[in-house]
C-alpha cells in the first residue's frame, strides 16, 4: 500500500519552493467535524491524477476499514443517508479522508505556504484532520486513530442512546441557566449539557436521548429559541463519554507523534498545546465542550486575516463570519467544498 505523508512531500512541478501569494499572512485552517458530511461530498476531486486524487485516500480508508468508503459516500447500495454515511463510524472516517486530502491539495497542488499558516484548528473530530495538517501524523496513522475512536463511539452509542440538538436564538448564558434549572428538577436522573458553543446565539446540547427530548419540551416553556435535533445518536463532549475518553487515552499512549510544521490550536482546551500535551487534549476533548466562539475570538485578536475551511460543507465558514462581524473584524473567509470554491482561493492568492 502506497503511503501518504503530509510531512515528506513528493517534489514535482506542482510542489516547489517558489510559492505565489507569500504576501498573504496569518492564515487559519479550520477542519469540520461530524455532521458536515453529505452524500457525494468530494466528488469534484475524484478524477485528479493518482498522486493527488481524493480516490487514493478513499482506497486507503477502504482497505483499513474493510468497507467500500466510496460506495458509502456515493450511496450506491441505496440504503440511504441515515443508514450509511450518517452513521458515526462511516461519517467520521469519510470526513477525515476528505479533510486530509484537501489539506494536502492546498499545500501540494496549489502551493499554499505553510510558513503563512498561523495555526490549524478543528471542530470536534476536526481536531484529527487539523493535527494531520500540522504534521503530527501520517495519513495512515491518523486514519487508524479515528477508526478506533469511531468504533469506540459507535459501541457507546448502542448502549447510551445519546442525542444532540442545536439551540438557536438564545445566548449561551441564558441557555446554561435554563439547563441548570432543568437539571435541578431531578438531578439524579435528568441531565443535559452544552456540548458546543458555536456562535453567540447557537449552541449544541447533548445527553441521553430521553433527557434531551424532555429538555426540549422544557425549553419551549422558557424560551422562544429554535431547537433542531441533529442526525447523530451520540452524546459527545460531556461526562457521559468518560469511559470512551479513558479507552481513547490508553490507545493514544501507543502512538508516536511527529514534530509539527504548523501550530495546532485546541478549540476544547483553548490553548496551543505542546507536542507532549496533544494526547491529553485528544483524550479530554471527548468529555469537554467545543468552544468555537472563544477560539475564533482569540484568533481574531492574534491578527488572523484569512480563514480557510478545509473539508466538506461551509458550516465553520458561516460561524466565523458571524463571530468576526460581532467583533468588528474584517477577515477573508474561504472554503474547499468544491472546485468552484477552490477557484476563489486560487484567484485570491494568485496561484
Q: Which residues contact residue 334 at a Cβ distance below 8 angstroms, ignoring those fewer than 6 apart? A: 306, 307, 308, 309, 317, 341, 344, 345, 348
For this structure, is 124 an active site residue? Answer: yes
CB atoms within 10 A of CB 57: 24
Closest by CA to 176, choosing from 193, 201, 153, 199, is 193
- Asked whether 272 and 264 are in contact (CB, 8 A), the reply is yes
Q: Which residues contact residue 36 at a Cβ distance below 8 angstroms, ignoring those fewer than 6 apart? A: 95, 311, 312, 313, 315
The Cα diameter of the chain in Å comes to 65
Catalytic residue among 129, 203, 236, 237, which?
237
E-strand spans in 254-296? Answer: 264-265, 290-291
For this structure, is 190 an active site residue? Answer: no
On the 0-12 / 13-18 / 19+ scale of CB atoms within 10 A, 196 is: buried
What's the CA gap between 63 and 75, in Å, rounded? 18
What's the CA gap between 337 and 325, in Å, rounded? 23
What's the CA gap between 304 and 294, in Å, rounded? 14
Closest by CA to 6, choosing from 178, 139, 160, 191, is 139
Catalytic residue among 124, 236, 266, 268, which?
124
The 8-class DSSP code of residue 186 comes to: S
Catalytically annotated residues: 124, 237
Amino acid at each position: 500500500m502506497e503511503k501518504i505523508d503530509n510531512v515528506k512531500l513528493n517534489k514535482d512541478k506542482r510542489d516547489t519552493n517558489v510559492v505565489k501569494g507569500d504576501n498573504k499572512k496569518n492564515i487559519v485552517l479550520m477542519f469540520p467535524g461530524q455532521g458536515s458530511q453529505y452524500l457525494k461530498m468530494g466528488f469534484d476531486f475524484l478524477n485528479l491524477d493518482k498522486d493527488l486524487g481524493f480516490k487514493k485516500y478513499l482506497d486507503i480508508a477502504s482497505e483499513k476499514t474493510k468497507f467500500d468508503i466510496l460506495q458509502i459516500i456515493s450511496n450506491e447500495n441505496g440504503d440511504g443517508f441515515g443508514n450509511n454515511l450518517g452513521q458515526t463510524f462511516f461519517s467520521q472516517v469519510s470526513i477525515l479522508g476528505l479533510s486530509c486530502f484537501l489539506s494536502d491539495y492546498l499545500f501540494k497542488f496549489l502551493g499554499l505556504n505553510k510558513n503563512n499558516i498561523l495555526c490549524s484548528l478543528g471542530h470536534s473530530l476536526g481536531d484529527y484532520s487539523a493535527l494531520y495538517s500540522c504534521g503530527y501524523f501520517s495519513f495512515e496513522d491518523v486514519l487508524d486513530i479515528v477508526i478506533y475512536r469511531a468504533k469506540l463511539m459507535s459501541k457507546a452509542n448502542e448502549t447510551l442512546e445519546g442525542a444532540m440538538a442545536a439551540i438557536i436564538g438564545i445566548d449561551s448564558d441564558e441557555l446554561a441557566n435554563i439547563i441548570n434549572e432543568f437539571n435541578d428538577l431531578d438531578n439524579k436522573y435528568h441531565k443535559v449539557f452544552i456540548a458546543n458553543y458555536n456562535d453567540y446565539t447557537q449552541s449544541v446540547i447533548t445527553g441521553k436521548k430521553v433527557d434531551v427530548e424532555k429538555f426540549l419540551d422544557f425549553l419551549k416553556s422558557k424560551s422562544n429559541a429554535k431547537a433542531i435535533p441533529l442526525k447523530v445518536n451520540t452524546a459527545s463532549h460531556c461526562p457521559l463519554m468518560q469511559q470512551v475518553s479513558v479507552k481513547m487515552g490508553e490507545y493514544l499512549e501507543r502512538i508516536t507523534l511527529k514534530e509539527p510544521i504548523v501550530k495546532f490550536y485546541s478549540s476544547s482546551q483553548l490553548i496551543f498545546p505542546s507536542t507532549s500535551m496533544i494526547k491529553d487534549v485528544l483524550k479530554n476533548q471527548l468529555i469537554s465542550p467545543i468552544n468555537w466562539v472563544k477560539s475564533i475570538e482569540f484568533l481574531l485578536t492574534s491578527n488572523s486575516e484569512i480563514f480557510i475551511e478545509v473539508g466538506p460543507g461551509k458550516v465553520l465558514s458561516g460561524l466565523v463570519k458571524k463571530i468576526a462581524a460581532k467583533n468588528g473584524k474584517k477577515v477573508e473567509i474561504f472554503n474547499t467544498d468544491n472546485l468552484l470554491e477552490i477557484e476563489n482561493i486560487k484567484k485570491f492568492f494568485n496561484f
